[in-house]
Chains A and B, each alone.
Chain A
Amino acid sequence: MTSTVAEAAEAPVAGARDAAPRRPSVARGYRFELVKLLCQWRIRVLILVCWIVPAIFVAAVSQQSSLPADTLFGRWMHASGWAGSLVMLGFSGSWALPLLTSVVAGDVISSEDRLGTWRHLLVAVRSPRRIFVAKTLASLTVVLLLVTGLAVSSIGAGLAAIGDHPLVGIDGHLLAPADAAGKVVLAWVCVLAPTLALAALGLIGSIALGRSPIGLLVPALVALAMQLAQMLPLPVAVRLALPGYAFIAWSGLFSSPIQLAPLLISVVVSLVWAVVATALAYLLFLRRDFTNVTHDRSARRAVTAGVLPLAALLAVTVLVLHLSTGATASGIDQGKVQRSIATAFAHLYRLQTKELNRPDVTEAQLRTSASCNRGGGMIASSGAGNDWRCTISWHLPDVGAATGTAIYQLDVSPNGRYIADGDGPQEVNGYFLMRTATGDAPNPLWQFDSVVDLLHSPS
């Protein structure tokens, strides 16, 4: 190896030696960061997993007789190829996306700490600003690649296994395949906003805490905290001010009319969090001491430059939402629940009628209404709880002026989602199967999910 030294030492160095190096552009730094990320086996495995596992999951579950009925759209996986992707979306918002962003956004920074390459990189790139931008763009690219994989893979498998059939919306109305396709894609696009917010938090964590596992896991921990918060009876303004609410609010796309306000607010809030957290990460990065990596005041820095500004952002957002929407308390009250379940029942009644080959009726003809209370009227009829009980009444247009009634027990979550469990009569909603011309089929009125619009005030 050293045999060439003598000659080499005497030889002039060719090529680039004559050309003065230029300041590298962001594009070159971006490419380099992307190559480094994609060289890592764990990132490659993640990409493969995101592009393959959802397809396997959706295809496998679609063939099972038992469906994940506790998940939004899970009970419709046999009916439409679009439902599988929405089940995957719900799971991704809870677990997959926070963990993925942890690995990617956290590692893009902390890998340099682990390898001890910060100084080398800074001397090579000659600008911390360009390093930060390149790393942020590279991690963003990989996150987008992973989310795209989850979406494409689950949609493809659903369509291949079940087909491009109409999808039953969150309020029971039927979405035509083209409409369902557009809204499924839009739902995946919407969850990019909270994903970006988590990725930005990942940047802050890994910059402030370096190689510490806590720094890497910041997005996952924040996502877990937000999930726990969503389970608590928080005021609507607080719920909407959390950057992860868009992971829930996308379901509003599948109601008629669309529950637009919560979705738009949650997406905007997530994007504001993404921008603010990225800016804080940038400032932290510029203030980092690259000559003395062992001498850090990371805990104090993380609090003063990361946690406190974000806590202030949360407080300001809560205040703004409270003032602008006028939303108070839980956002779940008797009127909203009654309106929501009556609408869903009417839509699903039509579906049941169609499947039973009965003459079609319209929602207007049914004139469905609901009467709901909590705890048999012993407690105030508002807020989340599993003690809601509703009596649905509707007109039977083919039986003169006769009306029908059906009972439901409701388990209403603090975020507005509820599961309505039919309590009879048996021929309407009391049994999970119904007899159709082609045999037994799931009864759409037996049990269904819906969502109360937390912001909407019933007229």
Chain B
Amino acid sequence: MDTPVAIRARRITKCFGDVVALDGVDLDVAQGQIHGLVGPNGAGKTTLLGLLLGLAVADSGSLEILGAPVGRALAPPDGVAGFVDGPGLYPSLTARQNLAALAALRGLDRRSAGIDDTLNEVGLTDVANDRVRGFSLGMRQRLGLAAALLTTPRVLVLDEPSNGLDPAGTKHVHRVLTRLASHGTTVVLSSHRMDDVEALCSEVTIVAAGRAVFSGPLSKLAAENHDLDYRLVTSDPDAARELISAGPGVRLVEEAEAAMRLDAGVLVVRAQTPALDELVARLVTAGIAVRELAPVVSPLEAAFLALTEQEAGQ
């Protein structure tokens, strides 16, 4: 049975005066999926997230969230929560007061609203009674996430949720989002951090100049992508270099090695996945140990750069 669709957008267009922020964007997000939205600055990601949150209405096109069409009135659809451009918090209130105010606004009983649980969930219990004025960016991000979680959303929309977080905080947020998705919550997030997107998202949409230039699983993105640069460390670099030069489908990228100022023993090769597999087999057969083989940039990042540069070129 197909997974129910949480978000379905068709030919969404949104203009601000003469600026076309979104130009016929399609988006499909399955329920319980963590969907990444990536693109360069000004690509239209925030506008798209704003439409999902009901902060704006599209000029044309259709948008359905959780099976219900989104109307023309400015109002967040039922079951949707999140933030764009950073969480909105009141600095003169404490973390707990911010959540309590939100709970009161949403008609939740303050005692049973799960404020303490939510603060605990995002790791802010120790600073629950501190004024938000003194919070770091990462703490604000986590409190923003807590505010979104408080309303038990079925669709969670987050703009740069890892912005300002340290590695532990990032891991923490990832764990929370993964757990939510496993319980059926659909998460749509935008990020400039490709490692975040790759770690969290099963599908991505790449937006460039207001258009969705790719939408689908990360694996499909990697498959569609052509040659990638890989960093290769072996037990015998000179022998490996000779073997690579003599073989088909793989070539040494010496200019990249020079540009990255790598150690003499580190090679950079460019190949598609099948040729790379074959190279590893040949190295092992020749008695050369492969100590490290990793893409110089991730497939997502490479695809992102290729697609967005192509779009910019057009």
Taking Cβ atoms with an 8 Å cutoff, the residues of A that contact B are 1-2, 4-6, 8-11, 13-25, 28-29, 31-32, 35-36, 39-40, 115-128, 286, 289-292, 295, 297
Contact = CB atoms under 8 A, between A and B. Distances in A.
Interface in B81-128: 81-93, 101-109, 111-115, 117-118, 120-121, 123-127
A290 B74 contact: yes
Contacts of B80: 123
A289 B16 contact: yes
B107 to A, nearest CB: 4
Given A15-B113, A16-B152, A117-B90, A123 B53 contact: yes
Given A9-B176, A28-B107, A119-B84, 16 more contacts: A1-B126, A2-B169, A13-B117, A15-B117, A16-B114, A35-B101, A40-B92, A115-B91, A117-B88, A123-B55, A126-B76, A286-B74, A289-B56, A290-B56, A291-B46, A291-B50
Contacts of B86: 116
Interface in B151-175: 151-152, 168-169, 172, 175
Query: Considering the complex of A and B, which 6 residue pairs feature the smallest CB-CB distances, nearest first?
Result: A120-B88, A15-B114, A291-B50, A117-B88, A22-B107, A21-B106
Given A15-B114, A117-B90, A9 B175 contact: yes
A39 B98 CA distance: 13
A391 B46 CA distance: 77
B76 A16 contact: no
B19 interface: yes
Contacts of A291: 46-47, 50-51, 55-56, 84
A115 B85 contact: no
B206 interface: no
B179 interface: yes
A116 B169 CA distance: 23
Interface of B: 16-17, 19, 21, 46-47, 50-51, 53-56, 74-76, 80-93, 101-109, 111-115, 117-118, 120-121, 123-127, 144, 147, 149-152, 168-169, 172, 175-176, 179
A24 B172 contact: no
A23 to B, nearest CB: 7
A263 to B, nearest CB: 41
B149 A13 contact: yes
6 contacts: A8-B121, A15-B115, A28-B104, A119-B83, A123-B54, A289-B16
B74 A128 contact: yes
Nearest to B175: A9
A17 B152 contact: yes
A9 B172 contact: yes
B76 A21 contact: no
Contact of B118 (A10, A13, A22, A295): A13
Given A20-B152, A295-B17, A122 B89 contact: no
Given A4-B125, A286-B74, A291-B47, A115 B117 contact: no
Nearest to A20: B152
Contact of A297 (B17, B54, B76, B109): B17
Contacts of A8: 117, 120-121, 123
A123 B105 CA distance: 11
B78 to A, nearest CB: 8
A124 B84 CA distance: 13
A1 B114 contact: no
A146 to B, nearest CB: 20
B106 A22 contact: yes
Contacts of B46: 291
Contacts of B50: 119, 290-292
A392 B25 CA distance: 85
B106 A6 contact: no
Contacts of B91: 115
Contacts of B115: 15
B88 A5 contact: no
Contacts of B53: 119, 122-123
Given A5-B175, A36-B90, A117-B88, A122 B107 contact: no
B172 A5 contact: yes
B123 A16 contact: no
A113 B45 CA distance: 21
A118 B90 CA distance: 11
A116 B87 CA distance: 8
Contact of B114 (A17, A28, A119): A17
A117 B105 CA distance: 14
A115 B149 contact: no
B76 A295 contact: no
Contacts of B152: 13, 16-21
A5 B123 contact: yes
Given A8-B123, A290-B55, A25 B74 contact: no
Nearest to A21: B106
A193 B123 CA distance: 51
Contacts of A286: 74
Contacts of A1: 123-127
Given A28-B105, A115-B91, A128-B75, A16 B112 contact: yes
Contacts of B89: 115, 117, 120
A32 B101 contact: yes
Nearest to B174: A9
A39 B91 CA distance: 11
A126 B90 contact: no
A133 to B, nearest CB: 14
Given A8-B123, A13-B114, A121 B55 contact: no
A11 to B, nearest CB: 7
A32 B103 CA distance: 11
A14 B74 CA distance: 30
Nearest to B47: A291
A357 B19 CA distance: 84
A14 B113 CA distance: 8
B102 A124 contact: yes
A18 to B, nearest CB: 8
Contacts of A29: 105
Contacts of B101: 32, 35
B37 to A, nearest CB: 14
A80 to B, nearest CB: 44
Contact of B87 (A5, A19, A23, A120): A120
Contact of B75 (A127, A292, A295): A127
B141 to A, nearest CB: 13
Contacts of B106: 21-22, 24, 124
